[in-house]
Chain A
Amino acid sequence: MSGVLILFYFFGSVALLSALAILFIRNVFHAALLLLMCLLAVAALFVLMHAEFVGVTQILVYAGGVLTLIIFGIMLTSKIDGKAMMVKNNKWLAGMLAGLPMLFILITLLKQHSFQSSGKFMTGDAAIKQVGVTIMSDYVLAFEIAGLLLLVALIAAVVTATTSKKNDA
């Protein structure tokens, strides 16, 4: 077993176990920290699959941006008295009904196909260069629309978060 494979199974099990812990834990803040662990493990998996740019973007955007935003949200919506915010998990039957058949179907369908990797693909600097060139040529329209979407979403977030004060007064 090669080193890459051992690292893949290690980070894969870290991601799986932290996702499982998010399902069972009741403290929202701990769940956010576990999600951070899961996202970092998935970023490591991206790097192992020779998608370095996606891995770095995952760390920068998810671990740096989204998780900070979520932790802000947790702190702003918890009660002032300093107790940790707990959630009830009272929809276990619905969760099992939604999740387990889906897992069963996905696993059986994936087992029926055999996906063979070509084994030869771009790695390192050439791959990152190829990603940049493709974004700026073939996908330039989608890239610009994504930028516009980010601008619209941020303005919408600011407007939505600030007008609540007026409603209170």
Chain B
Amino acid sequence: MIPIQHILFLGATLFVMGLMVVVVKRNAIMILLGIELMLNASNLNLVAFNTHHITHMDGQIFSLFVIVIAVCEAAVGLAIILNVYQFYKSSVPDDINTLKD
């Protein structure tokens, strides 16, 4: 039996790692990677709390929906990054500071 506290500590640490990747890195794709890391940490918590209940599977189903949302976010985000890259020739978010040319 895995102690649930340790799973929650792992989830919290992974979430903070994702947050720090988003803040520290200066590249749009690295920011997407950090967001995926944070969503995964939240999934870990959902599945951990799901082991509390004998009959209900709500935690697992919530984590499945989180995975679906993460896929949508990655697809649209990468399309936006490619479009921005073709226009600005850069994928550094600090360089992208005008709405219109």
Contacts and interface: CB of A to CB of B under 8 A. Distances in A.
Interface string A45-75: 1101111011001100110011001101110
Given A16-B14, A23-B20, A134-B61, A54 B37 contact: no
Q: Taking chain B's interface residues, is the majority helix, strand, or loop, or is none over half, making it mixed?
A: helix
A18 B7 CA distance: 17
Contacts of A8: 2, 6
Contacts of A22: 17, 21, 33-34, 37
A163 B79 CA distance: 10
Interface residues of B, number: 72
A49 B57 CA distance: 13
B71 interface: yes
Interface residues of A, number: 88
Given A77-B91, A99-B19, A161-B79, A87 B52 contact: no
Interface string B9-36: 1101111111111011111011011101
Max chain A Cβ within 10 angstroms of own Cβ: one of B1, B54, B60, B65: B60
A19 B72 contact: no
Contacts of B10: 12, 15-16, 45
Given A5-B2, A31-B33, A102-B19, A42 B24 contact: no
A77 B29 contact: yes
Contacts of A88: 26
A71 to B, nearest CB: 10
A50 B7 CA distance: 13
Interface of A: 2, 4-5, 8, 12, 15-16, 19-20, 22-23, 28, 31-32, 35, 38-39, 42, 45-46, 48-51, 53-54, 57-58, 61-62, 65-66, 69-70, 72-74, 76-77, 85, 87-92, 94-96, 98-100, 102-103, 106-107, 110-111, 114-122, 127, 130-131, 134-135, 139, 142, 146, 149-150, 153-154, 156-158, 160-161, 163-164, 167-168
Interface of B: 1-10, 12-21, 23-27, 29-30, 32-34, 36-37, 40, 43-44, 47-58, 60-61, 63-65, 67-76, 78-83, 85-87, 91
9 contacts: A66-B36, A74-B29, A117-B1, A117-B51, A122-B55, A134-B57, A142-B65, A157-B79, A161-B83
